[in-house]
């Protein structure tokens, strides 16, 4: 039994028992590990490497990184779009508050005689982080979205890849070929 056949067997799907008219479904996330003229080589979250023909990729998949349009939105609209990403991959940028010790060290540094206005704003706003993942759950009360960081999960399926993203820190979202960005945010 090959490795692929064994995985299908363990999943309970028996190719020989499929009947014309039967229905199939799939929910997988892939990391692109290669490309050819006719297919894309991917690795799924279970570590299985496979080639998917270009017509299947173009017809039924979205990228977390590509977008064909940019839409400026309010923070409320961005949060709404983020909550509605469903099972699609996305890239989200958000502001991660700096550790107070980092801010204190920057202020206390003798080499820094005066912080510029831009540096002060950066310290107060926090640094921009980027996460590519998929949605797990939204917490309506606390304003957090639980996600799986696919850059971690697809490298090591056993690693802890769950993350919380605070809705009030969102800067931009790329999902289903659209980039949503808060008006005036850079």
**39-92 pLDDT per residue, tens:** 999 999 888 999 999 999 999 899 999 999 999 999 999 999 999 998 899 999
Give domain status of residue 61, yes or no: no
Give domain status of residue 106, yes or no: yes
State whether 138 and 174 are in the same domain: yes
State whether 42 and 86 are in the same domain: no
State whether 78 and 166 are in the same domain: yes
State whether 37 and 84 are in the same domain: no
Domain count, the chain: 2
Query: pLDDT band at 3, cuts 50/70/90?
Result: low
Three-state secondary-structure class, residue 8: helix
Given a cut of 60, is residue 108 above it in pLDDT? Answer: yes
Query: pLDDT band at 104, cuts 50/70/90?
Result: confident
Residue 147, domain extent: 67-182
**92-96, 103-107, 166-170: segment of lowest average pLDDT:** 103-107
Give domain status of residue 92, yes or no: yes
State whether 50 and 71 are in the same domain: no
Given a cut of 80, is residue 170 above it in pLDDT? Answer: yes
Q: What is the pLDDT of residue 112?
A: 67
State whether 27 and 103 are in the same domain: no
**122-162 pLDDT per residue, tens:** 667 778 999 999 999 877 767 889 999 999 999 888 889 99
Could you give the C-alpha distances from 84 to 17, 77, 127, 161, 177, in angstroms and in order?
Answer: 36, 11, 25, 21, 14
State whether 93 and 135 are in the same domain: yes
Q: Which residue has better confidence, 128 or 13?
A: 128
Give domain status of residue 97, yes or no: yes
State whether 50 and 74 are in the same domain: no
Q: Residue 69 is encoded by which pair of tokens?
A: 């349009």
Number of H helices, E strands in the chain: 6, 10
What is the number of other CB atoms lying within 10 angstroms of the CB of residue 38? 9
Q: What is the pLDDT of residue 9?
A: 47
Contact by Cβ (8 Å): 174, 64 = yes
Q: Scan for tokens 């490309």, then name that residue.
A: 35
Q: What is the pLDDT of residue 126?
A: 78
Alpha helices in 61-140 (DSSP H): 75-83, 100-108, 117-125
Give domain status of residue 62, yes or no: no
Q: Which residue has better confidence, 109 or 147?
A: 147
State whether 161 and 74 are in the same domain: yes
The whole-angstrom separation of Cα 71 and Cα 181 is 6
Predicted model pTM:
0.78
Query: pLDDT band at 8, cuts 50/70/90?
Result: very low
Q: What is the pLDDT of residue 169?
A: 92
State whether 97 and 41 are in the same domain: no
Q: What is the pLDDT of residue 125?
A: 76
């Amino acid at each position: 039994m090959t490795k692929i056949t064994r995985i299908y067997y363990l999943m309970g799907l028996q190719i020989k028992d499929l009947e014309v008219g039967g229905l199939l479904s799939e929910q997988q996330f892939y990391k692109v590990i290669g490309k050819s003229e006719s297919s894309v080589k991917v690795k799924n979250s279970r570590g299985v490497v496979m080639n998917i023909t270009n017509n299947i990729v173009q017809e039924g998949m979205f990228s977390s990184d590509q977008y064909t349009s940019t839409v400026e939105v309010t923070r409320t609209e961005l949060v709404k779009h983020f909550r509605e990403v469903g099972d699609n991959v996305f890239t989200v940028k958000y502001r991660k508050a700096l550790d107070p010790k980092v801010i204190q060290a920057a202020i206390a540094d003798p080499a820094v005689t005066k912080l510029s206005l831009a540096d002060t704003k950066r310290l107060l706003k926090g640094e921009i982080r980027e996460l590519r993942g998929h949605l797990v759950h939204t917490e309506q009360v606390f304003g957090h979205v639980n996600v799986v960081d696919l850059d971690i999960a697809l490298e090591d399926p056993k690693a802890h890849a769950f993350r919380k993203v605070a809705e009030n820190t969102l800067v931009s979202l790329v999902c289903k070929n659209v980039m949503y960005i808060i008006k005036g945010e850079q």
